[in-house]
Chains A and B, each alone.
Chain A
Amino acid sequence: MRPTLQFLENELKETIIAEAGVILAELGVEVQNPDVLALLADNGAQVDRAQQRAFFSPDLVRKCLATAPRAFALYDVYGEPTHDFAGDNVHFTPGSAALNILDSETGKMRKPTTADYVDYVQVVNQLEHIASQSTAFIPADVHERISDSYRLFLSLLYGEKPVVTGTFTVEAFAVMRDLQLAVRGSADALRAKPLTVFSCCPTSPLRWSDVTSQNVVDCTRSGIPVEFIAMPLSGFMAPVTLVGTLVQHTAETLSGVVIAQLACPGAPMLYGGSPAIFDVRYETTPMGAVETMMTDCAYSEIGKYLGLPTQAYISLSDAKLLDAQAGLESAMGATLAALTGINNISGPGMLDFESCQSLEKLVLDNEICGMSLRLVRGIEPREDFPALPRLQELLQEQHLLISAHTRRYLRQEHYFPGPVIDRANRARWLEEGGLTLAQRARRRITQLQDNYEAPRYASEIRRELVARMEHEARRYGQETLPERPE
């Protein structure tokens, strides 16, 4: 039996969805993009162009939900399947898109560079419990107009895993699609085997900007899956109650579903988000707050109830460094998210309210993810009945360390975290240097960097990726890209 967590009764889900429907029909959503408004108007939405508002009837929402896929897959750069966004399958991806990284040497936060991003990709490429890359932070050593596409470029050049990403502008979409085409070879191949998921964020309350609404349309028409990241803030930009926040989140996310499905019926989507409570003491949006995590889990329940695969920003921390708070908030989030069956869990590596990535935390979180993935595999009998022969064997052999049963099931039954999480006895720990968690994490990063192997691309793919990125940079007056490792 897979252990699952549930916060909402079906009756409450129905009520929340119905109330969200009333909001979409009565208040509508603001869409600051005339083309998208026209698309909505042409396909059954009521549109007030002067106010830039679109109103969706419950029937229209139902129609859009009916064309939305209940599942879809992602594939790595070689076209091998890596993600099955279906049922309660769980996949982890690093939190994104931070403005800063935590410097390993100084322990201080700073702006990241190309070299930092390459380090990150090389590490995440080898983390066994992190299923995809995300464009986790924003290199500050390139022109800001290419800072979104440049992340994807580096991810595809150095990494093999699919990428959770997004654009900051309407214009950047073209090159971000073309970089994927360089890897896949054709538009049809990309459509058949998606390589990325683009995060598309409505603005609370009930608003789609020109850029984000256009991104939804562009992605869906290119067969690129999208995840909707609505961010209602309980008590500030959303009702203070969790149910009230859920109603608003549902309305905002369903508005994304409508835009996507009217732009391209059948477009793959994740019912996602990044809601938070608003901490009225510090004026912050704590991702490590238990109520934030409860809201995440609850909206995922609503998404699944509507028949959609889900996503959430959860299993990250608001701590400023790799301390106990970082571990406990991330582990609590990863555990709750995995139990809920959130399909794409965005969080590992992230600190400080989604603003700072840490490689040390990422390698620790990888092991937390490993534990969470073990947790949801649950407890089930494996040749355990009848129990008598096993106990007879134990009494006879004095131990079961090399029993055939042990050898068959050891690695399925027991997950062995490490080397960041420490399970050595004290004497061994001391003998091996008495390293702190941060030091063990640092050592792990060095090992991974030493073991890194670049993707096995044909040289023309590599050349094409570079050519497309250089061309994009030149459009904004940047003649050369920063130096990067071969």
Chain B
Amino acid sequence: MTAPRPSVLVIGAGSTGAATAHDLALRGCAVVVVERGEIASGTTGRNHGLLHSGARYAVKDAESAVECVVERDILARIAPDLLELNGGLFVALNEDDLAYRERFLDACARCGIPTRELTLAQVRDLEPALSSSCLAAVEVPDGVFDSLHLCLAFLATAESNDATVLPYREVEALVIRASSVEGAIVRDRRTGERVTLEADIVVNATGPWADRIAALAGVDVPVAPTAGVMVAVNGRYVDRVINRMAPPADGDIVLPQRRTVVIGTSSWSVADPDAIAIPAEHVALMLERGRALVPRLQEGQTRAVFAAARPLVGRVGGAEAGRELSRTFQCFDHAADGVDGFVTIIGGKTTTARAMAEKVSDVVCAKLGVTAACTTRMVPLRSYRTAYDA
């Protein structure tokens, strides 16, 4: 008789939860994912869709930059059919931007991010709608994806390895016995029925809601929900990700999504990720900054305005906030807080979801005595089109 497989309950089906379910299922764990709403209906779905080369973070946040460039290459290997790998340009529009170029190129080189300096003729050829004020441009391996489909591909692959995905289940309480989390009581949004799901370990992958789930176990996690506004404009004016060659700031990225472009983003702390009021001035700023990079955006009609809260590692109202917080991620084994069987992962970005999953899965497997190594760097993802199959 074989011993039962170790079981893990993952809370949250955004990119982190989806990738974690995939990783743990490959390592032989019996995985159940619960999500209070729809797949990718929180922060993940509403992100920019920028597959980061890491160049954006190279100067100020080398750790995040290196994570991004490594993960960008891995996603290009395991999910090539879900990505537009057209690259990105970092564009200097004034003397300050030009002065930033050397630091930017040096930092990219240190982080292992390939760069190519383009002539202005090449820039015009590649992206004719770009501002004629462009003084210099550097090409980097940025890309574009749709977050929902990436999550669905992770989950479809997890399901093919016997994971169970349960959307519309909201966690109401954690099952805690002798200072150890052993499952959760979830309420089915459709039936009102409450079910207890037992598990050897519970993973809290709820992004900006992570502190709420952690509080159910009486522990605290330092998550700083930091919102950003994005504006979608009709018309595919560019094929590449257009970034301002300057330290990260508001409205400095314009990228294509199908027949639209999306301008982003801003950054401000929010107390409640479920009630983000979009400031009208942020929308105006996105359009103004976006048009500085791609003037022809003013011809396009605004198609959508949306916002999501990044789950940054830090404290609401802390000394550092917003753009000063690192974009890297952190994993918390709450055994350090006196609660066993409970692990939280926060921070990061969808580009690095696989790496986040590897880290949290390493922690989970060490606790469970599972020795299987992570294989998600090489295993191709299944088609998202199989994710809803019963």
Q: Answer whether A and B are interacting partners.
A: no
Q: Which residues of B contact A (CB under 8 A)?
A: none
Footprint of B on A, CB under 8 Å? none
